[in-house]
Amino acid sequence: MTLPTRIAVFGATSAIAFEAVKLFAKKGASLYLCARDEGELKRLSDDLVVRGAKKVEYSAFDALDENSILNAIESCLSKLPDLDGLLIAHGTLPAQKLCETNIEEMKKTIDINFTSAAIILTHISSHFEKQGHGVIAVISSPAGDRGRQSNYVYGSAKGALTVFLSGLRQRMQKSGVRVLTIKPGFVDTPMTADFKKGILFVGPEVIARGIYKAMEKENDEVFLPWFWRWIMLVIRMIPQSVYKKLTL
Amino acid sequence: MSNNYYFESWGRFPRRIHLGEIVPQSINTVADSINSVNALVLPRGMGRSYGDSCLNDGGYLLFTRLLNKFVNFNPDMGILRCESGVTLDEILKVFVPQGWFLPVTPGTKFVTIGGAIANDVHGKNHHKAGTFGSHVICFELERSDGTRMICSKDRNADWYEATIGGLGLTGVILWADIRLKPINGPYIEMESIKFENLDEFFQISQESEAHCEYTVSWLDCLHNDGVRGIFMRGNHINKLEKEEMKAVHKNPTWKAFPFDAPSFLLSTVTIKLFNILFYNKQIIRKQRRIVHYDPFFYPLDNVNNWNRMYGKRGFLQWQCVVPVKNNKDAIRTILKEISKSKLGSFLVVLKEFGSIPAHGMLSFPMPGITLALDFPNVGEKLFSLLNKLDDIVCSAGGRIYPAKDARMSGKTFRSSFPKFEEFIKYVDPKLSSSFYRRVGGRNDIAN
């Protein structure tokens, strides 16, 4: 299977997405970048042209505004009508405590991490389905595999995303469109700037290389780095009666 | 922030407590980042300086790692514009396959553009190309008060001269235009020649200057009867062919120095043994080879964290330059003192600088000969040896390299960098470093 060469990236200014699109730019791919900050998109697009991208277009979008998402998708498909790749990398990781008392914050977390991604996926997967090919890669999280008291609002949004992708994968199977769920563990990015960094932390370029390889190898679901698969297996196997007493 | 925010330099000496780190997300938030803290700040790239010029005890470090974007490249002129946190490593990976190379490179590629300018670094081609600053067409400097200036030889020329070699103290470099050099491929045709004494070194060096772009020598400084070593010289390969010619360096992956080495690994005996083996590895006097640029320019980069080889106490680098007219005697005396002290070094490097003048007020290179060594930190005995060596250098009219220094006296520094008083006028009031304060720099505002 060949890698996509005309790719839309949502959350392009995130550290992981930037490292990943660098790899595609090097291969001469055409890119359509979407993120909140237009100035940053310009900065990124200049960089990717120097690195060898064939063409880079971009537009700002707000993940909390459905019209804004639709406009970005429309503009993307008009600029790159033969789009054959999609990477969704935007997300938000708020303080769990805040989500427990502030309903607005909780809803925002679910809308950014799940609803907006589901909207993008619905539109672009239909486009790929008609076209008969395409690769979809979405950054979910191991946090979606089992709820923990320390981040279950974020975790449940990511969990919903994982389930959505699982269903979409089955549906897309027939039309030759691939759907890849990416579950990165702890990554040293601006999103985790306030975290104390332990040995499980890796740089965004490690995750980006993993994404690139997984898109090439026709994986369905990858944990990055690999050891998270085993960590999460153990966590999922803990009986509920024990799990609820743990302070994870 | 915790109170125990330790940072080290590459030499792991000294270790300093800081208030914390700040990381601007883009070039548009630099001044805000500096002003978000109420203490002195020092911009820092990869922290490859050996001493305390990349430390700021009692203050903050401003990491430029997210100022890491390319802006544009003009293939007709070979001019690259990139942000200051872009590393030489990244430039090589992107541009070697396109047939371009760095105009000047130090012995590690893990250096940012901002760091290369702030230390006005030099390389094995100093005799042909001068310092890194000579290839910086312009850059944008931002001061903590939010003023932005484009600096070049013609525009804000005084700021250009203060910032090149200015140790990150004049402001934060946001981006720079660098002139890259066209190459035919990533390989170097190199020749290594053994020499038995300093006169032979000078003779080979003279003879190589005209036809070799790169020259450098490795010395066995603990050899009983004087100086011996291996002279290495090379040129970019001169033929265009096949896909292999695009081969860039690989990332070092598994070869990392995993722990702090115990001190017995670095005794005089082991260093002496290493030197004997290294010298005798090459059996014939003269050898020719074609090598990839990576091992030629960056032999140590292949081992991550090689600085841990020196254990917890770290090591000290010492690099001097002595002007042409006095060099032979002064270098002889220095080498004699080192040999006598038995505080040897694995890696002693000797090179002749050319006469292309450096642009910076505090640029280190001058026409003459430069000698670089590293010493395991054994404490007082080493410090008194280095003081003695400083004196020899100063009286010969030479100077010590600030990027590698952790201990020279303020007097030594000020007497060998006569433009320092003028330079102080350009220092940003919110920026400072441990080195700057140590050698007698003044900050107008206190924490």
**Dihedral of the alpha carbons of B371, B372, B375, B380, in degrees to the nearest 10:** 60
Set of chain B residues whose Cβ sits within 8 Å of the Cβ of A52:
94
User: Does residue B123 contact residue B170 with C-beta atoms inside 8 Å?
Assistant: no
pLDDT at A195: 80
Q: Residue A11 — left, alpha, or beta (φ > 0 → left; ψ -120 to 50 → alpha)? A: left
pLDDT at B1: 41
Of B69, B73, B80, the CB nearest to A43: B69
Cα gap A16→A94, rounded to integer Å: 18
Half-sphere exposure of A122 toward its Cβ, with a 13 Å CA cutoff?
10
β B399-400/B315-323 pair status: antiparallel
Q: Is the pLDDT of residue A184 over 80?
A: yes
Which residues lie across from A9 on neighbouring strands? A33, A87
Residue A77 sits at the chain B interface (C-beta within 8 Å): no
Q: Is the pLDDT of residue A170 over 70?
A: yes
| Closest CA in chain B for residue A195 | B1
Query: Does the distance separating the beta carbons of A190 and B70 come in below 8 Å?
Result: no
| Closest CA in chain B for residue A37 | B26
pLDDT at B135: 98
Query: Does the distance separating the beta carbons of A26 and B66 come in below 8 Å?
Result: no
Set of chain B residues whose Cβ sits within 8 Å of the Cβ of A51:
70, 94
Query: Does the distance separating the beta carbons of B23 and A193 come in below 8 Å?
Result: yes
Query: Does the distance separating the beta carbons of A190 and B25 come in below 8 Å?
Result: yes
3-state secondary structure of A69: helix
How does pLDDT run along chain B (447 residues), one tens digit per residue? 444 688 888 888 888 899 999 999 999 999 999 999 999 999 999 999 999 999 999 999 999 999 999 999 999 999 999 999 999 999 999 999 999 999 999 999 999 999 999 999 999 999 999 999 999 999 999 999 999 999 999 999 999 999 999 999 999 999 999 999 999 889 999 999 999 988 999 999 999 999 999 999 998 877 766 688 999 999 998 876 666 777 888 876 555 666 666 666 666 677 777 777 777 777 778 889 899 999 999 988 877 777 887 778 888 999 999 998 767 889 989 988 988 888 877 778 999 999 999 999 999 999 999 999 989 898 999 999 999 999 999 999 999 999 999 999 999 999 999 999 999 999 999 999 999 999 998 775 443
Token representation of residue A222: 């990858």
Set of chain B residues whose Cβ sits within 8 Å of the Cβ of A190:
23, 25, 66
Residue A205 sits at the chain B interface (C-beta within 8 Å): no
Cis peptide upstream of residue A225 (ω within 30 degrees of 0): yes
* Pairs of CB atoms within 8 A across A/B: 31
pLDDT at A1: 57
ipTM of the complex: 0.87
Cα gap B356→B348, rounded to integer Å: 24
Query: Does the distance separating the beta carbons of A52 and B94 come in below 8 Å?
Result: yes
Token representation of residue A69: 């998402």
Closest CA to A221 of A160, A156, A140: A140
Query: Does the distance separating the beta carbons of B28 and A39 come in below 8 Å?
Result: yes
Tens of pLDDT, residues A22-45: 999 999 999 999 999 999 999 999
Of A40, A46, A193, the CB nearest to B26: A40
pLDDT at A63: 96
Set of chain A residues whose Cβ sits within 8 Å of the Cβ of B26:
39-40, 43
pLDDT at B444: 54
Residue A130 sits at the chain B interface (C-beta within 8 Å): no
pLDDT at B264: 62
Which 8-state DSSP code applies to residue B421? H
Cα gap B296→B294, rounded to integer Å: 5
Q: Which of A 131-160 lie inside 8 A of B, CB atoms?
A: none
| Closest CA in chain A for residue B86 | A47
Set of chain B residues whose Cβ sits within 8 Å of the Cβ of A47:
69-71
Which residue of B1, B21, B25 is the best one to mutate when testing the A interface, meaning the one whose CB has the most A CBs within 10 A? B25
Give B128 to chain A, closest Cα distance, Å.
28
- Within B291-378, where are the H helices? 293-297, 327-341
